[in-house]
Structure 1
C-alpha cells in the first residue's frame, strides 16, 4: 500500500515534465584528451585551500584600544606573564598593515604553520589598531579577526597585546606550542641536573 502512495506522489510531482531531446544534451566528445596534470594540480590547490579552516565570516568586533589576551589551559602563569611583558625574544614577525581580511587570513594561517615547522616559540603579529578608518564600522577589523583566528589555531598556546615599544595595542605577541623535538631537548636538559 505504501508503494502505491509513493508512486502516486512521485507521479504528481513529475506531472507536466517533458524529457529532454537527445540533441539538447551536451556530451563531451569521445576520446577527447583529459589533462590529468591540470586535474592533479587543481586537486592539490583545492586541498591546500581546504586546510585553512580560519573563517572570514562574522566576527565579534573589538575596539581599536582593546587589549587582546588569551591563554589556553596548561600555560603556566609565569610564562604568560613574561609573554605579556614582552620578555621573550621575538623570533618571527608578520605585518598585516594594508591587507584585506582574506589576505590576512591566508597569511596568518601560513605564518603559524611556518613558525611551527621551524620550532619558533614566540612571534609578533602586527595588525594595527584600525583607528584611522573613516568608517567606524570598519575600525579594528583585522584586529578583531586576529583575536578570533589565534584562538581557533591549535598551535597557539597564548597571545597578548604587545608592549608599546613593539607596537602596543596594534600588535600581539604569540606563544606557540613546543614541538616534540623542543620538548625532548627540554626534558633532556632538565634530566642532566
Structure 2
C-alpha cells in the first residue's frame, strides 16, 4: 500500500467517529461532609501512636569488619549441636538476604523472618548480611547490627558465621527455637513408649 492508499483507508475507518463535546476531565465533587465516624477515626489516628512490637534496637552496636566472625550460643546448648551448626552440617531450611537494605529495613526483616521460622517449624536457617567491604570506613553495618539483634531474640538459640561455600563471614547460620506446638508434639511422641 502506498501512503495515499493508507490515508484513504484510515479516513474510511474513521468516518463514523465523532468529536467528544465535553472536556475530557474528571468531575470533582464538592467536599463531603465529615461524619462523626470520620472525626473519630481521625482523632484516634493522631492520638494513638503506632506501637512497634519489634524489640530489636539500632543504637550502640560494636562495629565489626568484613573478616570478623560471628559466634554466639545460649547457655544450655550442647557443644556438639553448636559444632554442627558452626560447620554448616544442618540443612538450611530458609534464607534471608539483607543485601542492599538499610539498617531499619533489615531490622524489620530479621524480626519477621525469625518469627516466621518459629511459626513454620524451621530450625536451621541462614541470613546473608554481606561483608561491608565496599564501605569506606571498613565497618560492616548490617553484620554489626545483626550480631547485636540475634541474641535479643528469645527464639534464637545460637548463630555462627557461615562456611566459605555458604558466604563465609558475609553470612550467618542461625539455630531457631522450636515452636510450642513442635515441643508438645515431641513430648507426645517420646512419652508414648
Give the TM-score, by structure 2 length: 0.74
Looking at structure 2, the residues matched to 187 and 44 of structure 1 have their Cα atoms a distance apart, in angstroms, of: 43
Q: Which residue in 2 is equivalent to 1:136?
A: 137
User: What secondary structure is seen at the aligned counterpart in 1 of 2:50?
Assistant: helix
Structure number having the greater helix percentage: 1
Instruction: Choose the corresponding residue for 1:75, options 74, 77, 83.
Output: 77
Looking at structure 1, the residues matched to 187 and 59 of structure 2 have their Cα atoms a distance apart, in angstroms, of: 41
Alignment deviations for residues 94-122 of structure 1 (CA, whole Å, 9 cap, x no partner)? 00001111111111111111111111111
Residues 179 and 145 of structure 1: CA distance in aligned 2, closer, same or farther (over 3 Å) = same
Post-superposition offset of 1:184: 2.4
Looking at structure 2, the residues matched to 157 and 66 of structure 1 have their Cα atoms a distance apart, in angstroms, of: 20
Looking at structure 1, the residues matched to 147 and 175 of structure 2 have their Cα atoms a distance apart, in angstroms, of: 14
Q: What pairs up with 1:109-128 in 2 under 5 angstroms?
A: 109-128=111-130
Q: Which residue in 1 is equivalent to 2:181?
A: 181
Post-superposition offset of 1:58: 2.5
Post-superposition offset of 1:38: 5.5
Looking at structure 1, the residues matched to 190 and 132 of structure 2 have their Cα atoms a distance apart, in angstroms, of: 44
Instruction: Choose the corresponding residue for 1:46, options 45, 50, 56.
Output: 50
- Residue 85 of structure 1 pairs with residue 87 of structure 2: yes
Looking at structure 2, the residues matched to 58 and 124 of structure 1 have their Cα atoms a distance apart, in angstroms, of: 24
Q: What pairs up with 1:102-113 in 2 under 5 angstroms?
A: 102-113=104-115
Alignment deviations for residues 31-74 of structure 1 (CA, whole Å, 9 cap, x no partner)? 97353446667889813xx2012111221111210110000011
User: What secondary structure is seen at the aligned counterpart in 2 of 1:148?
Assistant: helix
How many pairs were matched up?
Answer: 159
Larger radius of gyration: 2
Q: Which residue in 2 is equivalent to 1:159?
A: 159
